[in-house]
A = this chain, B = another copy of it.
Amino acid sequence: MMRVSDKHSKITQAAVKVFAKKGFFNARISDIAKEAKVADGTIYLYFNNKYDILISLFEDEIGKIILQVKLLLEKEDDPCQKLHIFAKHHLLLLEEKKDLAEVLQMELRQSNEFMKEYRNTKFIEYIDIISAIIHQGQDMGIFNKAISPGIAKRAIFGALDEMSRLWVLADDPHYTIEETADQVCNLFLNGLKNPPAPTT
């Protein structure tokens, strides 16, 4: 017998593909079933309903991402570097798992009564990684204390998320991931304004 988890994850992987291609509402259960090579009914042995596939997919996958990025950050002390690592890791998701990136984006935007109820604690955990970095930087005296970490974490996440959207939609990305991560970090660390002229 195939291990239970194998079928669960086969269906999840198939759902990622299908949701990314068609969007949640246009994706049919039978599409996911076909992609996963199981019967339609089998899906209901592992998930309660269509929405449950999306939610459970989101929590599983973002959980993995949180673990990965926290592990990477552990080794680093400098908050600037940490921000770099976070940004690069976030954007690299696109290269490695384009479909997943697309679905995660989508999930956050499902605007309806259901989603407004659902408190997305995993997502909050993810962006709180950013505010923790900012706090640390402020405590170390490197970051400006006038910046609200609660706002900045959203701004930084939003910026990265929007860069993702660009990649997902555009066929020819104008910039590389490296370039983009560097640019975004530079922007957030140093700002748009020119540094005051060096005192000669």
Instruction: Using CB atoms and an 8 Å cutoff, list the residues of chain A in contact with chain B.
Output: 19-26, 80, 83, 102-103, 105-106, 108-113, 115-116, 134, 137, 141-144, 146-148, 150-152, 154-163, 165-166, 168-169, 174-175, 180, 183-184, 186-196, 199
CB pair B152 A162 closer than 8 Å:
no
Instruction: Find the B residue at minimum CB distance from A174.
Output: B150
Given contacts A110-B23, A116-B169, contact A190 B191 (CB under 8 A): yes
Determine if A157 and B162 form an interchain contact, defined as CB atoms under 8 angstroms apart. Answer: yes
Contact of A158 among B102, B152, B160 (CB under 8 A): B160
Evaluate contact between A158 and B163: CB separation under 8 angstroms. yes
* B143 touching A154, Cβ below 8 Å: no
Please tell me if the beta carbons of A187 and B108 are within 8 angstroms of each other in the complex.
no
CB <8 Å contact, A102 and B106: no
In the complex, the answer to whether A183 meets B134 with C-beta atoms within 8 Å is no
Interchain CA distance A16-B190 in the complex, whole Å: 39
Q: Nearest chain B CB to A54's CB is how many angstroms away?
A: 12
Task: Please judge, given known A-B contacts A187-B147, A192-B147, whether A20 and B163 are in contact too, CB under 8 Å.
Answer: no
Residue from the list B22, B134, B142, B192 in contact with A189, Cβ < 8 A: B192
